[in-house]
Amino acid sequence: MTDKLLVLNDLRKNFGAIEALKGISFSIGKGEVVALLGDNGAGKSTLVKIISGGQQPTSGSMLFEGAEYQAKTPAEAKAAGIETVYQDLSLCTNVDVVGNFFMGREICRKIAGIPFLNERAMEDITSKALASAGTRIPSMRTKVEHLSGGQRQAIELNRFVHWGGKLVLLDEPFAALGVEQTRRGLDMIRHVADQGIGVIIITHIMQQAFQVADRIVVIRHGVVAGDVESSKTSPDAVIQMITGQSLSGAGPEGR
C-alpha cells in the first residue's frame, strides 16, 4: 500500500437531480499537501464533507491507511484521525488557550483521592506544542476571544497534530485573514505536512496553491479535471483546467 494515506475511488454524490460529484478518484500520501481547486459549484466542499464524515457519498469508496473507510459522522472521522479545521468554529471563545487545547482531554491528578485538573502540566504541553510550530501567543491563559484569526487557526491546527491527527481538511482557511497571517498559516501547513500529516486545502487563490501544495487537483462539474504536481504545471495551465477553456480563446471542450 506504499505511503498512500487516503485513496478516493469513484465517489459520486447526488442531491436529488443534481449530480454534485460524478466519480471522483485521486489519492493523497502521508506528508503531502494537495490543493483542491475549482470554480464555484464544482463540488469541492461536498467532497471535503464526504471525506470528513459530514455527508455520505451516493456511491464509491475510500481507503484510509489501506483499510476501507467511510465515516458516518464527523466524530467518527475525527476518531480515525481525519478532521476539517474550520476557523473559529471549533474553539470556545470564552475559554483560554490551554482550555481549548485540552478540551475533553484534561489531565487530572488525584490529591487525597479527589481529582484536580493538572493546570501546570496542561499549560506546559500547550505552550511547547505552539512554540514548536512557531506560533506566538503571549499567554496560554488568554481567552480565545482576544486572539486573532491566525492565532485561533494555529491553536486548532496544533491541537489536531498533537492529538494524533493524520489528515486535515481546510476549506478556504485564509478567507478572513490578512497578508501576514496568511503567510504564517501557509508556513504552518508546511510544518504540519513535514510531520507526515496529509493536508487537503481548498483555495481559490492560485498563488496560495502553488506556494503550499505538492499537488494540485482540479475539480470541474463534479469530475477531476486535472491532477498534477505543482512543480510541473503553471497557473495558466491550472486556470485552463478550472474553466475548461484554452487561453488562446478556443471554445469550451466538450464534457
| Binding partner of 18, given Mg ion, ligand ADP, none, CB within 5-8 angstroms per partner class | ligand ADP
The cell for 91 is: 474553539
Assess 212 for contact with ligand ADP (CB under 6 A): no
Binders in 135-154 for ligand ADP, by CB under 6 A: none
46 interacts with, out of ligand ADP, Mg ion, none, CB within 5 to 8 A per kind: ligand ADP
Binding-site string for Mg ion from residue 41 to residue 80, where x marks contact by CB under 5 A and - marks none: ----x-----------------------------------
* Interface residue with ligand ADP, options 7, 20, 122, 213 (CB under 6 A): 20
Q: Is 17 in the site for ligand ADP (CB under 6 A)?
A: no
For residue 39 the three cell numbers come to 470554480
Assign 3-class secondary structure to 156-222: HHHHHHHCCCCEEEEECCCCCCCHHHHHHHHHHHHHHHCCCCEEEEECCCHHHHHHHCCEEEEEECC
* Among 12-20, 140-148, 150-158, 183-191, the segment contacting ligand ADP (CB under 6 A): 12-20
* Contact of residue 40 among Mg ion, ligand ADP, none (CB under 5-8 Å per partner type): ligand ADP
Partner that binds at residue 27, options ligand ADP, Mg ion, none, CB closer than 5 to 8 Å by kind = none
User: Quick one: 48 or 161, whose CB is closer to ligand ADP?
Assistant: 48
Q: Is the dihedral of CA 179, 185, 188, 192 positive or negative?
A: negative
Q: What is the total count of residues that contact ligand ADP (CB under 6 A)? A: 11
- State the angle between helix axes of 179-193 and 149-162 in degrees (0 to 180), rounded to the nearest 10: 10
Q: How far apart are CA 237 and CA 79, in angstroms?
A: 38
- Verify binding: residue 45, ligand ADP, rule CB under 6 A: yes
Question: Residue 9's beta-bridge partner residues?
Answer: 61
Min separation Cβ 184 and Mg ion, Å: 24
Only segment of 38-46, 98-106, 126-134, 152-160 that touches ligand ADP (CB under 6 A): 38-46
Of the candidates 19, 8, 169, the residue with the CA atom closest to the CA atom of residue 87: 169
Q: How far is CA 74 from CA 11, 79, 87, 97, 244, in A?
A: 18, 9, 16, 23, 33
Residue whose C-alpha is closest to residue 187's, from 157, 163, 166: 157
Residues found near ligand ADP in the complex (CB under 6 A):
15, 18, 20, 38, 40-46
